[in-house]
Amino acid sequence: MEPMSQDHLSAIDEQRAFADLSSWRKVRVQGADAAQWLHDLVTADILTLRPGHSRRTLLLSPTGRIRADFTVARDETSLLLLQAPDQPDHVGLLLGPYILSSDVFLEDATTSHFLFAVLDDAAGRVGLAGLEPSVLGPGLDVITPNGRPARRVEDMMMKKQLTEVGEAALETRRIRLGIARMGVDYPAGALPAEAGLEGAVDWQKGCFLGQESVAKIKNLGHPGTVLRHLRSGGTVASGSPVEDGEGTRGVVTSAATGRGGGTLLIVRVPWTARSATLTTADHAALGDVNGTA
């Protein structure tokens, strides 16, 4: 990852940032059965998704373990699956075997289309139709064919005095927002509750892959670990242990400098420490993040 640019961080703080996410996987889902087929497989409600909107969703194993964490978006003609490129398994390859006799066609658009994320309130300055919210949280995404159309979009954002920001600034923003990331805050194969992603599960929609297993955990048990979004007044590094009065209770999975100083953290702890008062190893207090981070 490139070093942190203060200009990039300032652009995010001042609501004038966008990012080129063209390396993200993009899968177009088409066919007469596309919406119902995908709805029956993933955790989010796909049938009520309106054009121009998106939802974070999960593809689970039959035992309720996360295989892919991605966004489903609907444009005027099809559904789009948008997935971070560092996840171990391509969502299109995972879904392909479930097509069987359904009228569904999957097209990999990763190299043929660009993806730009316009962050937070900067989206209001662009004047382009997009998909809301962004794959990065608040904001919108603009997907366009590569070549001249993509260059026009990028030029327009520059003319609106938006700044293209890099991975380090995006990672700081993610941690400040408390958005969990596969491979960093939770592993592939985690339960949704262990990844803080129960909000990506529509409990009213009925069956989906792994539904019985996650419902059983929700109704009759609990996950082994949970993620907490915490704040420290000092400097804390990723990988640092966290403690309660009885010893080490968890680990910092992500850490970033807060806007007003200190450090914002995502911490993985056992279920029994889900509401415990925690400190760093040198006994500096950790508090839950409330309000603006």
Within-domain flag for 201: no
Mean pLDDT of 250-272: 95
Which CATH number characterizes residue 288's domain? Answer: 2.40.30.110
What φ, ψ does residue 251 adopt, rounded to 5°?
-140, 145
Residue 157 pLDDT: 86
Within-domain flag for 258: yes
Residue 1 pLDDT: 65
> Looking at the predicted structure, is the pLDDT value of residue 95 above 70?
yes
Domains held by the chain: number: 2
Picking from 268, 223, 263, 269, the residue whose alpha carbon sits closest to that of residue 246 is 269
Within-domain flag for 292: yes
Highest mean pLDDT among 132-136, 244-248, 289-293: 132-136
Within-domain flag for 150: yes
155 and 28 share one domain = yes
54 and 166 share one domain = yes
H or E element, residue 82? strand 79-83
287 and 157 share one domain = no
Range of the structural domain that residue 257 is part of? 224-293
Residue 292 pLDDT: 45
Residue 156 pLDDT: 81
Assign 260 a pLDDT band (cuts: 50, 70, 90).
confident
Single out the residue in 118, 142, 175 at which a domain terminates: 175
> Can you state the angle between helices 6-13 and 167-177, rounded to 10 degrees?
40
Write out the two tokens for 162.
């938006």
Within-domain flag for 240: yes
> Looking at the predicted structure, is the pLDDT value of residue 221 above 90?
no
Mean pLDDT of 191-213: 94
Within-domain flag for 211: no
127 and 257 share one domain = no
61 and 152 share one domain = yes
Residue 3 pLDDT: 67
> Looking at the predicted structure, is the pLDDT value of residue 98 above 70?
yes
User: pLDDT tens across 135-176, in order?
Assistant: 999 999 999 988 877 788 888 888 889 999 999 999 999 999
48 and 152 share one domain = yes
Write out the two tokens for 279.
């400190």
Single out the residue in 139, 158, 175 at which a domain terminates: 175
42 and 154 share one domain = yes
Within-domain flag for 40: yes
Alpha carbon distance 36, 156 (integer Å): 37
Strands 17-20 and 163-164: parallel
Name residues whose C-beta falls within 8 Å of residue 128's C-beta, 6 or more positions apart in sequence.
Answer: 118, 142, 153, 156
266 and 142 share one domain = no
Which CATH number characterizes residue 89's domain? Answer: 3.30.1360.120
